[in-house]
Amino acid sequence: MLYTVLKKGAAQRVASTASKAASKKLSTTIEQVFVRRPPPNFALGLTTPAFGKPSNTDYGQALRQWLRYVEVFERRGIPAVSLPPLDQDCPDAVFVEDTCVLFKDNITGEDVAVVCENMARERRPEVETMKEALLKQGFDNDHRPFDRIGVVDGEGEMLDGGDVLKCPVSNKVYVGLSSRSNRSGVDKLASLLPNHEVIGVPVTKVLHLKSCITALPDGRIIGYDPLVDDVDFFGGANNYLSVPEEGGAHVVILDDKTLLVAASAPRTADILDKEGYDLEIVDIEQFEKLEGCVTCLSVRRR
């Protein structure tokens, strides 16, 4: 199911919010996305013990849901770079977000790509094709090449892209200290991003930081409290919006007034609609069965 909620009057309210934040260099426009078709064996993907194994998965449905997800970007004129499918040994290959993190340096404007070599051991075979795409990307078309590519691959360094949340209006980068990312990985990321404030955030109740919080275009954190270790960590009620369902904690910022939200979060969609946002709603139920969410299925270059 895919529909867009178009709001007239409310858009002006969001526009005023956006203009206030504009002075803080809103980086909400997406230049391109990287995606990868789900493999037929996607149901064999990793899940945490607390989450449990998936049931009633359906590859045909997964493929249709993935195509509709990619359509949201393409319909908005955002080019989607498709990574080569990995249909044999990488059931989690559709969750490209974990393989790298892309930044535009707040001060220099440099395009920085950080490749997460040390993700979960079972998933490391996914990284090479992402790295190749990042390197190639700069020369294939008129997109500027990445100015710098760093790698989190040192002894003991662990980092998943799903743990990295950039604030759209400041130089803050929150990184989950989860089962997939550790302090050494956070420190390595900080060393690759001298003009960002990289902040480690305890994550013990879910797989990744972005399993329980993401960010809105005005810089507020949006989160599902029962899964957040410490909601006060993000600056209190002025900077944090609680949502009533897990699927509502994950939004992809499409522009400064439009959000991509999962169909599993209808009550959150109502809240965001009343906040003045336009919404693209996408059903990703097959990927939610593998602990995925709307951010996992793409890498956004802004």
Ligand X SMILES: CN(C)C(=N)NCCC[C@H](N)C(=O)O
Q: Which residues bind ligand X (CB under 6 A)?
A: 45-47, 92, 95, 97-98, 120, 123, 162, 207-208, 210-211, 290-293, 295-296
Judged by CB, which is closer to ligand X: 247, or 292?
292
Which residue's Cβ lies closest to ligand X? Answer: 162
How far apart, in Å, do the first and last CA atoms of the chain sit? 27
Q: At residue 230, what is the residue type?
A: D
Phi-psi region of 109 (alpha: psi -120 to 50; beta: other; left: phi over 0): left
Of 100, 116, 293, 296, the active-site residue reads 296
Question: How many other CB atoms are there within 10 angstroms of residue 240's CB atom?
Answer: 18
| 180, containing H or E segment | none
Judged by CB, which is closer to ligand X: 21, or 94?
94
Spatial separation of the C-alpha atoms in residues 22 and 25, rounded to whole Å: 5
Judged by CB, which is closer to ligand X: 21, or 72?
72
We find the least distance from the C-beta atom of residue 38 to ligand X, in angstroms, to be 11
Annotated active-site residue 296? The verdict is: yes
Annotated active-site residue 208? The verdict is: yes
Judged by CB, which is closer to ligand X: 78, or 207?
207
We find the least distance from the C-beta atom of residue 226 to ligand X, in angstroms, to be 16
We find the least distance from the C-beta atom of residue 203 to ligand X, in angstroms, to be 10
Spatial separation of the C-alpha atoms in residues 297 and 17, rounded to whole Å: 28
We find the least distance from the C-beta atom of residue 159 to ligand X, in angstroms, to be 12
- Comparing CA positions, the residue from 284, 294, 287 lying closest to residue 54 is 287
Supply angle C-alpha 261, 262, 265, rounded to 5: 95
Of 90, 116, 196, 208, the active-site residue reads 208
Sheet holding 258-262, edge to edge: 2-5, 278-282, 258-262, 251-255
Question: How many other CB atoms are there within 10 angstroms of residue 233's CB atom?
Answer: 16
Judged by CB, which is closer to ligand X: 47, or 57?
47
We find the least distance from the C-beta atom of residue 214 to ligand X, in angstroms, to be 9
Contact by Cβ (8 Å): 213, 250: no
By annotation, the residues acting in catalysis are 208, 296
